[in-house]
A and B are shown apart, each in its own frame.
Chain A
Amino acid sequence: MSITAIMFWLLSAMAIGSAFMVISSKSAINSVLSLIVTFFAISGHYILLNAQFLAIVNIIVYAGAIMVLFLFVVMLMNLNTNTEPHKHKLLRFAGFIAGGCLFLVILAAMAQAGVGNETVETNTGNAGLIKNLGKALFNDYVLPFEISSVLFLSAMVGAVLIGKKEKINPVDAVEQPNG
């Protein structure tokens, strides 16, 4: 087996293993940390596919920003292992079964579709390079790019608005009939 293949399997194992850890660990912080490991694994996959830009962006944005945000919230809530209530055993079992069935169905569909035998270009390729990606982004997709900045703005405003502590005015509280 080539080094590519070994790397692929290694990264895959890491990704799936830490994904399992995410869903099954009792402590919230463990889950967050496992997810970060998953993201690293996926970034490794990206590098393997020579999508360099995306690999770096994945680490910076996802693992670096989003996960840190999650960590902050978890630590803010002071979640301990025994604060999380337990779900009904039957429902958990049903959930597993549902997920498993979905997995099998999609695999079967893929097998039926017959696209599985095409090869994927690994280690090489110009598409993933930042220069080409930048060209595509700023030539063909300028508008979505600009609008995404507006999206961020609205998300920020929304987050701040939601997080604001409301001052409860006694007069208003009484006067609203359809509150």
Chain B
Amino acid sequence: MDIKMYIGLAVALFCIGIVGVLTRRNAIIIFMCIELMLNAVNLLLVAFSKMHAASAVGAANPSVVSDAQVFVFFIMVVAAAEVSVGLAIIVMMYRNTHSIDVNFLNRLKN
């Protein structure tokens, strides 16, 4: 497998996530698309770690390979924390306005 396949795949998922953020007005769907983007990045990182494992860099410096996967681990940690807080906010938003339309919150207008 060439790395460009994985890059292409990861970028495609990332862009799909972006399109989802831009297109949807439902706060929860937008949140999920953000998670999708994070996962795309994770995939890319893992692919790069294996790329280095196959190359000379990885032979000389084996920690490079595992560093990437540890990084992915921590991304997941942060994602989990972020989801919990984010969903709490969305629930509060629903309780106050009875809507989860993102455009409903336009107090920043002008």
Chain B associates with chain A: yes
Partner of A110, one of B7, B17, B18, B20: B7
- The B-contacting residues of A in range 100-140, CB under 8 angstroms, are 100, 102-103, 106-107, 110, 115-122, 125, 127-128, 132-133, 135-137, 140
CB <8 Å contact, B12 and A51: no
> Which bracket fits the contact residues of A?
35 or more
Partner of B6, one of A53, A85, A120, A128: A120
In the bound complex, residues from chain B placing their C-beta under 8 Å from that of A119 are 1-3, 51, 54
CB <8 Å contact, B76 and A121: no
In the bound complex, residues from chain B placing their C-beta under 8 Å from that of A94 are 22
Whole-angstrom distance from the CB of A119 to the nearest CB of chain B? 5
Majority SS at the chain A contact face: helix
CB <8 Å contact, A120 and B3: yes
Partner of A132, one of B17, B19, B24, B66: B66
CB <8 Å contact, B39 and A136: no
Whole-angstrom distance from the CB of B58 to the nearest CB of chain A? 8
CB <8 Å contact, B20 and A125: no
CB <8 Å contact, B29 and A16: no
Majority SS at the chain B contact face: helix
CB <8 Å contact, B23 and A49: no
B88 at the interface (CB under 8 A from A): yes
Lowest 4 A-B CB distances belong to which pairs? A116-B4, A95-B22, A23-B20, A99-B19
A: residues with CB less than 8 A from B are 4-5, 8, 12, 15-16, 19-20, 22-23, 28, 31-32, 35, 38-39, 42, 45-46, 49-51, 53-54, 57-58, 61-62, 65-66, 69-70, 73-74, 76-77, 79, 84-87, 91-92, 94-96, 98-100, 102-103, 106-107, 110, 115-122, 125, 127-128, 132-133, 135-137, 140-141, 144, 148, 151-152, 154-156, 158-160, 162-163
14 contacts between A and B (CB under 8 A): A4-B1, A23-B17, A62-B76, A73-B91, A74-B28, A115-B3, A116-B2, A133-B69, A136-B69, A137-B73, A140-B63, A140-B67, A141-B74, A160-B88
Known contacts A22-B29, A125-B53, then 18 further A-B pairs from the complex at CB < 8 Å, ordered by chain A residue: A19-B12, A46-B46, A51-B49, A66-B83, A84-B24, A95-B23, A99-B16, A102-B15, A103-B15, A110-B11, A117-B2, A118-B3, A118-B51, A127-B65, A127-B69, A133-B70, A151-B77, A152-B81
